[in-house]
Amino acid sequence: MAINSREIAWDKLPNGEALGEITITDKSGYFILLKIPITIIRAQTCHNKVMEKITTLSAEEGTRFHFYASPLTKRVSLSSEILEGEGNILQIDLVDQNGIVRNSFFQTQLQADIFFPTSPTGGFFQIAISRYKGTTQTLINKLSIRPINVELQSNYLTAEKNSKLKLNNAGPLIDARLLIKNSPRSISKKIIKRSTDLLTRLPLAKDLGVYSVKIYPQNIPELSASYLACAITLLDEQQHKIETNWLLQFSITKNTPTNAAFIEFSCQNFDANLVLGEENISDLTMEILFSDKSAANTNRAIRIMPGINNIELDLSTIDDGPWTKAEVYLLPLFEITSKVSLKELEIIR
């Protein structure tokens, strides 16, 4: 059985969903044996232009939209703006094609922006918007989905006042913040069988800084999603436990216990939707990274026009300590919890 989607009046269905049903009758056609509800989805492609959706929501109502991100679109910007209505809270969820919530946040201000990576192989995404409580007054909201097709053209940065960063924007104009920070040093890396515990114990660093944990399979598409939980424990010289925190990062500060001599990372990796099946997944790599706290970051607002952009930077304040490589990120202008990585560059002095 085939359905001709061209016969559907999509202009009257702004969220890209058509609801219907399939009716199965007996041979005579008079008696209905079964009715099967169906939903036909028309996902717009997010590649080189901005998609905008206007929604009208009453109290505790919700809606959703669908879009397709091609393999060329590795990052997307999602902007939500309340045009009419006050005292409202919106919940916005981004769901991937495996039904996994990739990002979820509450919008309490008139505008909210978030950047997120898509998938190395592309895929279909769903954005769900729901109004939390509310009044009898309807809320009008504008949702903008903007592809971030920005790639770095520079292979390195120079630690000088007039350093330049070259960007190529194959998508629409985008306003963002450019963050350049020193790359964390890899202090431990080992391959772990999937059936064993993810455990690493190291001497505690004497310098102020941040530990972080990365666990990943050998091949990118093997896991459609992965949730990591780690217990980070401080131990004394006799390797007795001092304290344990369930975090993915741990900061060494002036308040860190003075008798702490070792740090232990005990992690669990919760895989969702194993693409190849459990028996075909490769072993995992567990890597511990350390970022020096003393290094300064470069964080500034920029406007990235379509085409080639040359961004002038002052990197003369970078010291001679840990800065050998730098990570380059893009962040929303007024939101600091989400960022997308562009590339890691070498620092030339």
What is the domain partition of the chain in residue ranges? 5-41, 44-147, 150-183+294-348, 185-292
* Model pTM above 0.75: no
pLDDT of residue 321: 55
Distances (CA, A) of 67 to 42, 54, 72, 321: 8, 15, 14, 45
pLDDT of residue 261: 92
Tokens standing for residue 105: 């946040």
| CATH number corresponding to 150-183+294-348 | 2.60.40
Q: Which helix (H) or strand (E) holds 139?
A: strand 139-147
Tokens standing for residue 151: 């790639």
Dihedral, CA of residue 245, residue 211, residue 223 and residue 66, to nearest 10: 90
Picking from 181, 171, 170, 162, the residue whose alpha carbon sits closest to that of residue 311 is 162
Distance CA 245, CA 236 (A): 16
Beta strands in 183-335 (DSSP E): 185-192, 198-203, 209-217, 223-235, 241-246, 249-252, 262-274, 284-292, 298-304, 307-313, 325-331
Name 141's bridge partners.
Answer: 55, 82
302 near 145, Cβ under 8 Å? no
pLDDT of residue 294: 54
pLDDT of residue 191: 81
pLDDT of residue 46: 77
Q: Report residue 53 CA to chain centroid gap.
A: 21
pLDDT of residue 277: 47
Place of tokens 């666990």: 215
Picking from 46, 48, 28, 36, the residue whose alpha carbon sits closest to that of residue 94 is 46
Q: Do domains 44-147 and 185-292 have the same CATH topology?
A: yes
- Residue 88: phi and psi, rounded to 5, are -120, 155
pLDDT of residue 260: 92
Q: What is the DSSP letter of 239?
A: -
Spans of the chain below 50 pLDDT: 221-224, 272-277
Under CATH, what is the fold of the domain 44-147?
Jelly Rolls (2.60.120)
Place of tokens 């131990």: 235
- For domain 185-292, the CATH class is mainly beta
Distance CA 141, CA 130 (A): 11
Distance CA 58, CA 90 (A): 11
Distances (CA, A) of 314 to 157, 158, 230: 11, 9, 37
